[in-house]
Amino acid sequence: MPRLLRRLAVLTALLLGSGLAAASDHWVELAGERFQVEIAATEAQRARGLMYRERLEPGHGMLFIHDWFGPQAYWMKNTRIPLDILYFDEQRRLVSQHRDVPPCRTRDCPVYPSGAPARYVLELNAGEAARLGVAEGAELRFGPGIPAAAE
């Protein structure tokens, strides 16, 4: 029995390290395509974001829900994968985007501002925004269980 417990502990550690254990049944839809998303609705979750991840599975992303509607700015400190950063207003319309943002492992990482007030930020694998052809005004649809704003 101890051997089985040890194997389960190793498997759990691997899942947690890869981010798979944090996956959920939440989804968003953009340009007719559905993405499974992790929700970052607390300050701690937003601060950590996708840091230290080695990869983001295809068809997955992270949805950041901010407490306030206003200018937002993101950076890629300790982020190991290139991303598209998409900013949405309170009506979930795309107001700005930064495509193919490279990882940053230094102390002086550039900041990527929203350029317009935003409430929601969607991070996807780099290249997804171009593949989908999303432009400002594109609508982000939420699946069930995603709060309209941070509580």
H/E element holding 22? Answer: none
Higher confidence at residue 82 or residue 10?
82
* Chain centroid offset of residue 11 CA: 25
103-149, pLDDT tens digit by residue? 998 889 999 999 999 999 999 999 999 999 999 999 999 999 998 76
Question: Which residues, 6 or more positions from 81, have their beta carbon under 8 angstroms from its beta carbon?
Answer: 50, 53, 54, 55, 56, 103, 125, 126
Mean pLDDT of 96-107: 94
74 pLDDT above the threshold of 50: yes
What integer is the mean pLDDT of 66-95? 96
pLDDT value, residue 24: 61
Task: Point out which residues pair with 79 in neighbouring strands.
Answer: 104
Q: Residue range 55-70: average pLDDT? A: 97
**pLDDT at residue 142 in the model:** 97
Neighbours of 112 (CB within 10 A): 19
The model's pTM is 0.82
Task: Please determine, for residue 61, whether its predicted confidence score (pLDDT) is greater than 80.
Answer: yes
For the structural domain made of 22-142, what CATH number should be given? 2.60.120.1140
For 38-51, letters b (16+ CB in 10 Å) and e give bbbbeeebbeebbe
How confident is the model over 17-51, as pLDDT tens digits? Answer: 434 334 469 999 999 999 999 999 999 999 999 99
